[in-house]
Amino acid sequence: MNLANLDVSKYKRFFAFGCSFTNYIWPTWADIIAQDIEVYQNWGQIGSGNHYIFNSVLECDARNNFTKDDLVIIMWSSIEREDRYSNGKWLTAITEKDKKSLYGRQWFKSYGEDYRSCLIRDMAFIKSTQTFLSAKNCDWANFSMYSICNMDEEKLLQDGYADDKDVDLLIQRYLKLNRDLCDGKEITEPYVCDPDVLALYKDAYSQIKYSVLDIVRQGHFLKDNLANFGDGHPTPIEHLNYLDTVLPNNLSLKAKQFAVEWESVVQSIKERDVMPQKFERPIIKRL
């Protein structure tokens, strides 16, 4: 069942999936929830895209067999990432530099910037995963790291809307577009990319909660008050606030205090100018 509310007392096991917004050097939303559930596996991987996430969900079920006593939450990543399994490990590429280094300049020239193909691929991954989890009879929820939809920058430029003075206005339009899609509304934004693909997968999109960056950063990936090093990852308290916003819950005082204590560690990075010791999670077996 796709959750509207989270009752952590119901579950014997919790499985989390995503990218660095799920598994990072400090605790994330997944680690906060895990404080209240005995068995916990975090399959998130830094830099991963939705291809990796899709495969991880299926592999995890093959190893663990999801049941009605399990909680499965996925935070989908940005769609223009490229994942491949090669030589015994997953390769993940986010930036143009990463893609050219891993897959070659010719590959990048042919395929590396095709947003529409990424959207078609990833929406199919998302819908397939939702259908699979519904059939497994476990409780599940879909979060997102960033909005899956995109705005047509070329058309915006042509119409004179991409000037610096329009940035805040464009961000607000972008936020409204994503929230309308998450709410299952019809698309009215004239500058949306590939509205036919979004319309086709309207039901799948509507089962995704608002993105964490839209909630805690209002569409901005980086802000001046970040922890340090221009690090745009949400802090533990931001992760907690996100959970409280998109998935009303009965998290314990212990879980909330866990977020508060780690928030102090993260914020102290500014003062010490060093990274904290990496937060350690249970090791899980995977391909």
CATH number at 14 reads 3.40.50
R_g (Cα) of the chain, nearest Å? 19
What is the 3 state secondary structure string of 249-277?
A: ECCCHHHHHHHHHHHHHHHHHHHHCCCCC
Structural domains in the chain (count): 1
Helix axes 115-136, 50-64, angle to 10 degrees: 20
Reported pTM: 0.93
Does residue 163 belong to any structural domain of this protein?
Answer: no
Record the tokens describing residue 34, joined without a space: 């895990």
Does residue 180 belong to any structural domain of this protein?
Answer: no
* pLDDT tens digit sequence for 221-247: 544 444 444 577 899 999 999 999 999
Pairing of strands 13-17, 39-42: parallel
Does residue 188 belong to any structural domain of this protein?
Answer: no
Tokens 């990319």 — which residue? 193
pLDDT score for 223:
47
If pLDDT is split at 50, 70 and 90, which confidence band does 217 have? confident
Residue 219 has pLDDT above 70, yes or no: no
For the segment 26-41, the average pLDDT, to the nearest whole number, is 97
Does residue 52 belong to any structural domain of this protein?
Answer: yes
Does residue 97 belong to any structural domain of this protein?
Answer: yes
* Element (DSSP H or E) covering residue 176: helix 167-182
31: containing domain:
8-148+235-272
- Overall residue count recorded for the chain in this entry: 287
d(CA 258, CA 36): 11
> Mean of the per-residue pLDDT values for the chain?
90
pLDDT score for 171:
80
Does residue 210 belong to any structural domain of this protein?
Answer: no
Residue 274 has pLDDT above 50, yes or no: yes
Does residue 194 belong to any structural domain of this protein?
Answer: no
Does residue 264 belong to any structural domain of this protein?
Answer: yes
DSSP conformational letter for 2: B
d(CA 129, CA 75): 12
